């Protein structure tokens, strides 16, 4: 039994190291591998929107810093391309 547990622990350790190595390779550095696990992975399967879903609304602030508008206000007679992102 003790020997089996040791084997399981060994295999798990190897798998964890392999996973971290793969993330390191993908992300470019150990710090970025950590960042990927800490910040990106939790977002991988967010959201339930699908093609055909009603487009949700949200209030946005205009660049002037004072006026507001809603995303759905921009849905009109033409398709609306939404580009989400940040500076960094």
Q: Which residues bind another protein (CB under 8 A)?
A: 28-29, 32, 35, 38-40, 43-44, 46-47, 49-63, 65, 69, 71-72, 74-88
Task: Name the minimum Å distance from CB 17 to another protein.
Answer: 22
Q: Alpha-carbon dihedral of residues 58, 63, 68, 69, nearest 10 degrees?
A: -50
CA 52/CA 75 separation, integer angstroms = 15
Task: Name the minimum Å distance from CB 33 to another protein.
Answer: 11
Is the Cβ of residue 4 or residue 85 nearer to another protein in the bound state?
Answer: 85
């Amino acid at each position: 039994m003790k020997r089996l547990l040791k084997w399981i622990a060994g295999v798990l350790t190897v798998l964890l190291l392999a996973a971290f190595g793969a993330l390191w390779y993908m992300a470019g550095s150990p710090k970025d591998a950590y960042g990927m696990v800490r910040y990106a992975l939790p977002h991988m399967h967010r959201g339930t929107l699908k093609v055909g879903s009603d487009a949700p609304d949200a209030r946005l602030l205009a660049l002037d810093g004072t006026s507001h508008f809603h995303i759905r206000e921009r849905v009109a007679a033409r398709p609306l391309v939404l580009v989400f992102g940040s500076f960094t």
